[in-house]
Amino acid sequence: MSSTTSIHGMWSSRLAFILAATGSAVGLGNIWRFPYTAGEYGGGAFVLVYLLCVAAIGVPIMMAEIMLGRRGRQSPINSMRALAREEGASPFWQLLGWVGILSGFLILSFYSVIAGWTLAYVFRAAGGLFSGVDAAGSEAMFNALVADPERLLAWHTVFMVMTALIVARGVSSGLEQAVRWLMPALFVLLVVMVLYAAQAGEFRAGLAYLFYPDFAKLGARFGEAVLSAMGQAFFSLSLGMGAIMIYGSYLNSRASIGQNVGIIAGMDTLVALLAGMAIFPIVFANGLEPGSGPGLIFQTLPIAFGQMPGGSLFGALFFVLLVFAAWTSAISLLEPMVAWLVENRGLSRPRAAALAAAAVWLLGIACLLSLNLWSDITILGRGFLVLFNDLTANVLLPLGGVAIAIFAGWIMRRASSADELGLAGDGLWYLVWLVLVQFVAPACVVLVFLNAIGLF
Ligand code: TRP
């Protein structure tokens, strides 16, 4: 049977777990990725599909993932091996952990580059470079950064070192304090940005863009848009690679999983929607293009900070908090491989963290070069950064998520899952969850895949 604690440490309280898991979920995915992806697919229809995916696929899979982690109490690879043995299933299930490590590796390599942009922008804001900047000026500023491999490398390196340092200390001690104060601060600042957008931007146009679902706009890109909305849900909720699983392995056995997931998913969704409500009114007020891609917030926000009173201070603070949000997410991407290195290779935590971070850092260099010197090296029409971004969110994470749902719904005995979720096995909530992980989530993912490749 499973043990009641993890050798890597435990969260000090239920609140600590909620903070850490919310810290993992809320990050660049909400504030950088959600607005630009919604913008690429025309807004409202994408947002509606995204919300449906969070509710019908994301929430039940997050419950399953936490549950598997808490029962396994080890790195995802070893947890899956132990659980498969406990349920008399094939050891093949540990492949789920391996694919998760690969996904974490790929995601963190480009995530760190984008976090590097955010670090660079702290200094641009603080240095007053935003004041009075117009759309063309902020676009030029962004393009200059992305074209400069040395700067990108410097910031990417700083961010990977920051991430490795916390993981080396152990997430349960390193993380709690940071998340407790900084997440609420980021939230308050986002609300202030939305209020600013409401009075200085095209607020009505922004809200209509975000919340009025016009499926006609998707046209021939319907399948691709739905796939991207689902991928965004997995990415934003940190699902499908074992990050939430390993955080679950540090959670004590009494905490109610369903309630926690409701809070985490709710906060994550709220932050993404607030980010959209802050960005799009400014986009429309300045004649910018909502579909301009990954540079969207870096081209939009400086204009707003440049116009508002105290914008240098405010802008610097905003980007600092965004760096923290990215940091608390990056930690969860590195943790599964570090835990595995500690368990199976007998490395000390600091060594394991340094080794894993160095490998990710190297791959990150390919990502940042794909923006400039290597821009003509493409695979499937994409440079490395875009390729890793699309491949993980739209393919690997949903596959990992389905495997988690199938294991939790079909392989695990009902007595085990009901017991671990703390629900009565014949109660309504348990049955709703069971139907979602057994049928709804896997079927939705498969249909979205088939639809995207044109088979359905
Ligand atoms: N969810 C984070 C964000 O929105 C990124 C992230 C952290 C992640 N851990 C993950 C994404 C695990 C996928 C899987 O920024």
pTM greater than 0.95 (yes/no): yes
Task: Measure 452 CA to ligand 1 centroid, in angstroms.
Answer: 23
Task: Give the closest residue to 207 by CA, choosing from 307, 270, 282.
Answer: 282
Residue 36 lies in a domain: yes
Find tokens 């440049």 and name the residue. 306
Inside any domain, residue 5 = no
What is the number of alpha carbons within 13 Å of residue 311 lying toward its C-beta?
18
- Residue 351: Cβ-neighbour burial (10 angstroms; 0-12, 13-18, 19+): middle
pLDDT grade for 70, boundaries at 50, 70 and 90: very high
| Ligand 1 centroid distance, CA of 202 (Å) | 31
Average pLDDT over residues 283-287: 94
Q: Is residue 2 part of a domain?
A: no
Asked whether residue 120 is assigned to any structural domain, the reply reads: yes
At 12-41, the pLDDT tens digits run: 888 889 999 999 999 999 999 999 999 999
Assess if residue 135 is contained within a domain.
Answer: yes
Q: How many angstroms does the Cα of residue 215 sit away from the middle of ligand 1? A: 28
Per the domain annotation, does 41 fall within a domain?
A: yes
CB 112 within 8 A of CB 32: no
The stretch 349-361 carries a mean pLDDT of: 97
Name the pLDDT band for 2 (thresholds 50, 70, 90).
Answer: low
Pocket test for ligand 1, best of 34, 101, 118, 235 (most atoms within 8 A of CB): 235
Say if residues 112 and 156 touch (Cβ distance below 8 Å): yes
Task: Provide the pLDDT for residue 1.
Answer: 43
pLDDT digits (tens, 9 = 90+) for 408-455: 999 999 999 999 999 999 999 999 999 999 999 999 999 999 998 877
- CATH assignment at residue 348: 1.10.4160
| DSSP-assigned letter for residue 93 | G
CB of 29 sitting under 6 A from ligand 1: yes
Our answer on whether the CB atom of 20 is closer than 6 Å to any ligand 1 atom is no
Best CA proximity match to 126, nearest among 300, 275, 302:
302
Ligand 1 in reach of 27 Cβ (< 6 A): yes
Q: Which of 101-105, 185-189, 209-213, 272-276 has the lowest mean pLDDT?
A: 185-189
Decide whether any atom of ligand 1 lies within 6 Å of the 163 Cβ: no
- Whether 8 maps to a domain, the answer reads no
200 Cα–ligand 1 center, Å: 32
Mean model confidence pLDDT for the chain: 95
Site of tokens 């671990």: 420
Number of domains in the chain: 1
Query: Higher-confidence residue: 171 or 78?
Result: 78
| 37-58 pLDDT tens trace | 999 999 999 999 999 999 999 9
| CB of 30 sitting under 6 A from ligand 1 | yes
C-beta of residue 296 within 8 angstroms of C-beta of residue 92: no
Task: Tell whether ligand 1 has an atom less than 6 A from the beta carbon of residue 28.
Answer: yes
What would the mean pLDDT of 74-88 be, rounded to a whole number? 96
Range of the domain at 68: 14-452
Residue 217 has what pLDDT? 87
On whether residue 61 sits in a domain, the answer given is yes
Q: Is the pLDDT of residue 324 over 70?
A: yes
Using alpha carbons only, how large is the chain's radius of gyration in Å? 21
Q: Are 416 and 40 in contact (CB under 8 A)?
A: no
The stretch 166-184 carries a mean pLDDT of 81
Closest to 53 measured CA to CA, from 328, 397, 389, 296: 397
Indicate whether residue 249 lines ligand 1 (CB < 6 A): no
